[in-house]
């Protein structure tokens, strides 16, 4: 097993990784910006290194500073968490070229799946269903217009190098396409340094379902069930649950098999997620993208399968077999995760500020992965995620009941937060029935 680990991230995911690593007897090094010096993850690590000012480009995305911290502390491996440099193939290559262990898929897999058009084409060749769309970037507006006419409106205009729900727009006709194409292209160039755009069929009533995969040391790729991720705002997830209420045993079998083929197509190792769009009326599903990292919502899979995904990541990176029998994976029960963000519960606009009260819920089947505590200040420099509230139980009905109590008990005063939204959602009949789709939040608003 790896003996020392540098966590190249912050907040709740840094705390999450630190917890498992320390349980395994691994010495853990945290890196942090000036803005994060007082956050819990810094104190929980065995050692902490200041790597720069608040600007992520000068700290959490500063590869030289991170590698220097690894060298000065004698770190053996680097875990990137999610976001920041987690899907940066150049960083992964540099880490390994420096003689360090990269806790994640290799750089070639990250590269192959990082470009959405290339990923779509790879998946189609591997027999994974893909939605109608372009097989190469729409080089200009005229090409986009021609492609959309062939695909049929409405269409999704997407940044080929994007991710995390960013760099996307819907066009219902040619006039809207002309606006969205320019908007997405400019955003993609600014955010990703790559203005490539793809055009895909847009499904107005669809569910977002993903499959957790794990590439093992012996070369096998296994699927650890699916997660429902359809409660979203601005194409970004707010709630995830496993198993999905929309997935039958027969559909699950097809979904998981397709996800395994996706991983095998790129020789995948370590943890990853195959995201799909599901048409609930026909049972058809289409490959959306592959996230070559640990997902925010991994805890719901951990509960249903009884494993620690961070531990499994560290075992793969260490060249060790998994703690579970890959031929005897059995899901049990149900779990729901709610992303507690520093944003108002109506319009979901960021609301940073100092935390004057922080009281987490407790009880059977209740887990909180938090990145803040009382006295901390939520700054405007990073993602608004404060914590994740995960509730598990034997049935979905039991989980919904426990979730209501947990949400009511979660007290955060200071920064604006979306806890009241979850109280509203848990009373929503569409959500409680399980027959919801990606439009549920807009219908609530």
**Cβ–Cβ under 8 Å, residues 199 and 146:** no
| Strand stretches in 155-195, DSSP E | 155-159, 168-171
For the segment 9-64, what is each residue's pLDDT rounded down to a tens digit?
A: 999 999 999 999 999 999 999 999 999 999 999 999 999 999 999 999 999 999 99
DSSP codes, 272-303: EEEEEEE-TTT--EEEEEEE-S--TTHHHHHH
| Mean pLDDT, range 91-113, rounded to an integer | 97
3-state secondary structure of 311: helix
Instruction: Name, of 115-119, 138-142, 308-312, the range with top average pLDDT.
Output: 308-312
293 assigned to active site = yes
Six-digit token pair at 311?
A: 């531990």
* Helix residue spans in 137-173 (DSSP H): 141-151
Cα–Cα nearest to 104, from 317, 264, 298: 317
Query: What are the φ and ψ backbone dihedral angles of 143, each rounded to 5 degrees?
Result: -65, -40
CA-to-CA distance for 373 and 35, rounded, in angstroms? Answer: 15
Q: What pLDDT score does 203 carry? A: 87
**Cβ–Cβ under 8 Å, residues 402 and 359:** no
CA-to-CA distance for 93 and 84, rounded, in angstroms? Answer: 15
Q: What pLDDT score does 217 carry? A: 98
| Mean pLDDT, range 352-374, rounded to an integer | 98
| Mean pLDDT, range 375-389, rounded to an integer | 97
| Strand stretches in 346-393, DSSP E | 353-354, 357-359, 366-370, 377-378, 385-393
**Cβ–Cβ under 8 Å, residues 242 and 225:** yes
Dihedral angle sign, alpha carbons of residues 412, 418, 422, 427: positive
> Residue 164: which H helix or E strand, with range?
none
For the segment 280-318, what is each residue's pLDDT rounded down to a tens digit?
A: 888 999 999 999 999 999 999 999 999 999 999 999 999
Q: Is the pLDDT of residue 185 over 70?
A: yes
4-35 burial: b if 16+ Cβ within 10 Å, else e: bbbbbbbbbbbbbbbbbbeebebbbbbbbbeb
Q: Is the pLDDT of residue 115 over 90?
A: no
Q: Which of 39-43, 109-113, 187-191, 296-300 has the lowest mean pLDDT?
A: 187-191
Q: In Å, what is the CA distance from 385 to each residue of 53, 206, 343, 351, 372?
A: 20, 25, 9, 11, 10
Cα–Cα nearest to 194, from 184, 208, 202, 179: 184
Q: Is the pLDDT of residue 79 over 90?
A: yes
| Mean pLDDT, range 143-158, rounded to an integer | 95
For the segment 320-339, what is each residue's pLDDT rounded down to a tens digit?
A: 999 999 999 999 999 999 99
| Mean pLDDT, range 256-267, rounded to an integer | 97
**Cβ–Cβ under 8 Å, residues 199 and 179:** no
pLDDT band at 160 (very low <50, low <70, confident <90, very high): confident
Q: What pLDDT score does 164 carry? A: 66
The number of residues making up the chain comes to 445
For the segment 208-254, what is each residue's pLDDT rounded down to a tens digit?
A: 999 999 999 999 999 999 999 999 998 899 999 999 999 999 999 99
The active-site residue, picked from 293, 315, 367, 402, is: 293
CA-to-CA distance for 89 and 353, rounded, in angstroms? Answer: 34
Q: Is the pLDDT of residue 161 over 80?
A: yes
Six-digit token pair at 230?
A: 């359809």
């Amino acid at each position: 097993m790896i003996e020392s680990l540098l966590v190249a991230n912050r907040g709740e995911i840094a705390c999450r990784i630190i917890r498992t690593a320390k349980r395994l007897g691994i010495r853990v090094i945290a890196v942090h910006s000036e803005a994060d010096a007082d956050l819990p993850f810094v104190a929980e690590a065995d050692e902490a290194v200041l790597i720069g000012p608040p600007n992520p480009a000068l700290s959490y995305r500063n590869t030289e500073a991170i590698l220097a911290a690894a060298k000065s502390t004698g770190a053996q491996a680097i875990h990137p968490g999610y976001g920041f440099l987690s899907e940066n193939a150049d960083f992964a290559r540099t880490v390994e070229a420096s003689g360090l262990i990269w806790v994640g898929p290799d750089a070639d897999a990250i590269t192959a799946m990082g470009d959405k058009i290339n990923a779509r084409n790879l998946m189609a060749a591997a027999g994974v269903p893909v939605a109608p769309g372009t097989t190469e970037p729409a080089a200009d507006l005229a090409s986009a217009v021609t492609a959309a006419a062939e695909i049929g409106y409405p269409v999704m205009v997407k940044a080929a190098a994007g991710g995390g729900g960013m760099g996307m727009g819907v066009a219902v006709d040619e006039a809207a396409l002309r606006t969205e194409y320019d908007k997405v292209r400019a955003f993609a160039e600014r955010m990703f340094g790559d203005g490539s755009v793809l055009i895909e069929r847009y499904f107005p009533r669809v569910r977002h379902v993903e499959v957790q995969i794990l590439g093992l040391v012996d070369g096998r790729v296994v699927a650890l069930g699916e997660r429902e991720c359809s409660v979203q705002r601005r194409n970004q997830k707010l709630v995830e649950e496993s198993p999905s209420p929309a997935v039958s045993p027969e559909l699950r079998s097809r979904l998981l098999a397709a996800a395994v083929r996706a991983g095998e197509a790129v020789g995948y190792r370590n943890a990853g997620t195959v995201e799909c769009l599901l048409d609930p009326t026909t049972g058809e599903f289409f490959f959306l993208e592959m996230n070559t990292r640990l997902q925010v919502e991994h805890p719901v899979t951990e509960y249903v399968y009884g494993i620690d995904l961070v531990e499994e990541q560290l075992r793969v990176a260490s060249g060790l077999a998994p703690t579970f029998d890959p031929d005897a994976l059995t899901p049990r029960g149900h779990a729901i995760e709610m992303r507690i963000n520093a944003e108002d519960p109506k319009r979901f606009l960021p609301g940073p500020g100092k935390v004057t009260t922080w009281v987490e819920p407790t009880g059977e089947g209740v887990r909180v992965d938090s990145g803040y505590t009382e006295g901390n200040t939520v700054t405007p420099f990073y993602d608004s995620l404060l914590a994740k509230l995960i509730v598990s139980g034997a049935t979905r009905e039991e989980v919904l009941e426990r979730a209501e109590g947990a949400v009511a008990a979660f007290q955060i005063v200071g920064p604006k937060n979306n806890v009241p939204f979850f109280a509203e959602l848990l009373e929503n009949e569409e959500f409680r029935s399980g027959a919801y789709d990606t439009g549920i939040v807009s219908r609530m608003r």
